[in-house]
């Protein structure tokens, strides 16, 4: 009997270690607090039971999005439950693109990767609808670094500003606001911008605050930081941080005079 118990404990330890790698969390001790810990524990259990869980959250307040329709070509159609979750049997490793849709939200295509039977990043943040001329920027990432910060800067035109957690959370004219600041991993961090000044320029960048004293850190790149940009009530661009890039400043995009959005997508020490 002792041999059976020891074998079971060893097998369980191996499974937990393997799945912890798949889902990018550093053991149960590394779980963030609150619902995140419960959700990750449930995701682990679902995966051990041969299911793949995906979860969808509101980018403004991180509340679960229930009743959303999720279409995954060649896999199936699903509806999110009260916890914003769908489950489906394991599928072959590779890249997949799902389509999220729900009334009151912006229809969004999201790419995810299945690796060793699990999804490395299985939590997604989706945007409620916005007026046609507004922009919304949504940042999400893995468990580490714990604290990434969006910076959105305007120069020229009718006056400049710098939106971030430590500076102006709302522009003086009320035309840009940091909706959400996340300091415990995963995101989202969200900025909403109203009318774009056609005579101004804008830049968006992300700072790895956790590793601010280690300018050659690769942790931000290793953990899949992603920004989605919405405008005209649709998803207009998705930026993934360059894989393996060293640095703590991710230069994501700029908006030039006249309103043209231009991708930059480079990483620098800071």
User: At 65, which CATH number?
Assistant: 2.60.40.1120
Q: Is there a cis peptide before residue 153, judged by omega within 30 degrees of 0?
A: no
> Residue 13: helix, strand or coil by DSSP?
helix
Q: Are residues 138 and 76 in the same domain?
A: no
Task: Return the exposure string of 86-122: e unless at least 16 CB atoms fall within 10 Å of the residue's CB, then b.
Answer: beeeeeeeeebebebebeebbebebebebeeebbbbb
Check whether 134 has a pLDDT greater than 80: yes
Q: Are residues 88 and 140 in the same domain?
A: no
- Cα separation, 101 vs 82, in Å, equals 16
At 168 the pLDDT is 67
Which position has the higher pLDDT, 44 or 152? 152
% pLDDT > 90, the chain: 63
**6-20, 112-126, 217-231: the lowest-pLDDT one:** 6-20
pTM over 0.85: no
Q: Judge contact between 152 and 171, C-beta under 8 A.
A: no
How many separate domains does the chain show?
A: 2
Q: Are residues 206 and 116 in the same domain?
A: no
**Residue 27: band (very low, low, confident or very high) from pLDDT cuts 50, 70, 90:** very low
User: Which phi and psi angles does 241 have, rounded to 5°?
Assistant: -60, 140
- Cα separation, 96 vs 108, in Å, equals 14
Whole-number Cα distances in Å, 167 to 68, 151, 172, 248, 269: 35, 9, 12, 18, 21
- 91-94's contacts with Cβ under 8 Å and 24+ in sequence apart are 91/52, 93/117
At 52 the pLDDT is 95
Which residue in 96, 47, 48, 104 sits closest to 75, CA to CA?
Answer: 96
Check whether 193 has a pLDDT greater than 50: yes
At 224 the pLDDT is 84
CA 153 to chain CA centroid, Å, is 21
Q: Are residues 107 and 135 in the same domain?
A: no
User: At 141, which CATH number?
Assistant: 2.60.60.30
């Amino acid at each position: 009997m002792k041999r059976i118990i020891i074998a079971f404990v060893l097998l369980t330890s191996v499974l937990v270690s393997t799945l912890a790698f798949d889902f990018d969390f550093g053991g149960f001790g590394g779980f963030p607090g609150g619902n995140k810990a419960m959700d990750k524990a449930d995701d682990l259990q679902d995966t051990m039971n041969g299911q793949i869980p995906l979860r969808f959250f509101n980018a403004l307040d991180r509340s679960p999005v229930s009743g959303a329709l999720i279409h995954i070509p060649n896999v199936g159609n699903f509806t999110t439950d009260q916890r914003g979750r769908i489950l489906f049997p394991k599928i072959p490793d590779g890249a997949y693109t799902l389509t999220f849709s729900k009334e009151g939200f912006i229809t969004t295509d999201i790419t995810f990767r299945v690796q060793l039977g699990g999804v490395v990043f299985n939590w997604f943040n989706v945007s409620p609808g916005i007026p046609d001329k507004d922009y919304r920027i949504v940042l999400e990432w893995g468990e580490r670094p714990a604290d990434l910060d969006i910076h959105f800067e305007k120069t020229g035109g009718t006056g400049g500003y710098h939106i971030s957690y430590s500076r102006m959370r709302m522009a003086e004219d009320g035309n840009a606001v940091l909706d959400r600041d996340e300091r415990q991993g995963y995101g989202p961090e969200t900025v909403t911008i109203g009318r774009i000044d056609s005579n101004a320029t804008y830049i968006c960048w992300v700072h790895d605050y956790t590793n601010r004293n280690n300018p050659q850190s690769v942790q931000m790149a290793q953990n899949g930081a992603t920004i989605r940009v919405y405008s005209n009530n649709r998803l207009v661009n998705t930026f993934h941080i360059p894989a393996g890039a060293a640095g703590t400043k991710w230069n994501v995009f700029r908006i030039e005079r006249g309103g043209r959005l231009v991708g930059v997508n480079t990483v620098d020490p800071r």
